Amino acid sequence: MIRGIIKFVLRIVTLLLYRVKIVGQENIEKGKPYILCPNHISNWDPPTMVASLKRNDVYVLAKEEMFVNGFIKWLAVKVHALPVRRGKQDVKLLKDSVKVLKENHMILIFAEGTRNGIEKKGKIQNGAVLMSLMSGVPIIPIGIQSKTKYRPFTKVKINMGKPMDFSEYKDKKGDKETLDALSKQVMEKMIYLTNEEI
């Protein structure tokens, strides 16, 4: 109930502030689990994604600092946010995320680990791919496009790619070389979707 109200408010706010266009949402089938992996350009990315998705069962991986402030912590819990300890491999988070995916929900993860990571010539973290290999759930790469980085009353585009199935590599989840190679594939697709004209 509360989650539905929060999403409704987020939808109104994002519609008022930004002209959101979302492409490729048909790649998300009803009742199936997915790992949603967009680029990260603004603090507005998570609420805009949550507000724009047709499905309500998305869990957002969010930096643990969000769980300190009383109201923000309450809000994060209500929108199904899971705390991330950045720079560390969090075994509990991985287990919790796999559990969510096995219940046929979705996980939203910003694999760059920081805003504009790819733009700064960085690479994405291996967490999304590791989660995919542990759960058998495909990754949907996403490109968020905003020339003005969410300046009010400008257009934001969300370009969703087709699912990337890495299930054939499930026995190599402990192989860093494989994780790096698959993460590079996801990153390349994210870059393509970010730059594609839609």
CA-CA distance, 61 to 38, in Å (whole number)? Answer: 12
Domain 2-195 grouped into CATH 3.40.50.150? no
What pLDDT, on the 0 to 100 scale, is given for residue 141?
98
For helices 127-135 and 176-195, angle between their N-to-C axes, nearest 10 degrees: 110
pTM of the model: 0.90
Question: Domain residues of the chain, as ranges?
Answer: 2-195
What pLDDT, on the 0 to 100 scale, is given for residue 7?
79
CA-CA distance, 121 to 145, in Å (whole number)? Answer: 17
User: Which residue, chain included where needed, has tokens 């594939």?
Assistant: 185
CA-CA distance, 131 to 93, in Å (whole number)? Answer: 10
Average pLDDT per 10 consecutive residues for the chain, totaling 198 residues: 78 86 95 96 89 90 71 71 71 90 95 73 87 97 93 94 96 92 96 94
Amino acid, res. 170: K
